[in-house]
């Protein structure tokens, strides 16, 4: 184990800005991509449903 206490871990030997800046932005971007995808899927499903409902009405 490299770290004797949490402070040392978060300090990253003086490179905290760079290391945590990389980790933070990576996590943020990946999370955002997943959120956008889920939203896109919801919108697409709603669109298909609406279209299908309209089609069913027309054929009556």
Partner 1 sequence: MPWFAAAAFCLTVAGLYVGFFMAPTDAQQGDGYRIIFLHVPVSWMSMFIYVVMAFWAAVGLIFNSRLSAMMASALAPTGAMFAFLSLWTGALWGKPMWGTWWVWDARLTSELILLFLYMGFMALQSAIDDQRRADKAGAVLALVGVVNIPVIYFSVQWWNTLHQGASVSLTQAPSMATIMLIGMLLMALAAWMYTIAVALMRVRCIILEREYRTAWVNDLKEIRQ
Chain residues that interact with partner 1, rule: CB under 8 A: 1-3, 9, 12-15, 17-19, 21-23, 25-26, 29-30, 33-34, 37, 40-41, 44-45, 47-49, 51-52, 55
Smallest distance from partner 1 to CB 28, Å: 10
CA atoms within 13 A on the CB side of 16: 7
Smallest distance from partner 1 to CB 17, Å: 8
| Structural contact between residues 29 and 23, judged by C-beta atoms closer than 8 angstroms | no
Residue with structure tokens 């206490």?
A: 5
Smallest distance from partner 1 to CB 57, Å: 13
* DSSP 8-state class, residue 2: -
């Amino acid at each position: 184990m490299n770290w004797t206490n949490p402070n040392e871990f978060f300090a990253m030997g003086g490179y905290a800005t760079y290391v945590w800046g990389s980790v933070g932005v990576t996590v943020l971007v990946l999370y955002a991509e997943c959120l956008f995808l889920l939203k896109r899927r919801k919108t697409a499903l709603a669109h298909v449903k609406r279209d299908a409902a309209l089609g069913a009405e027309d054929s009556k």
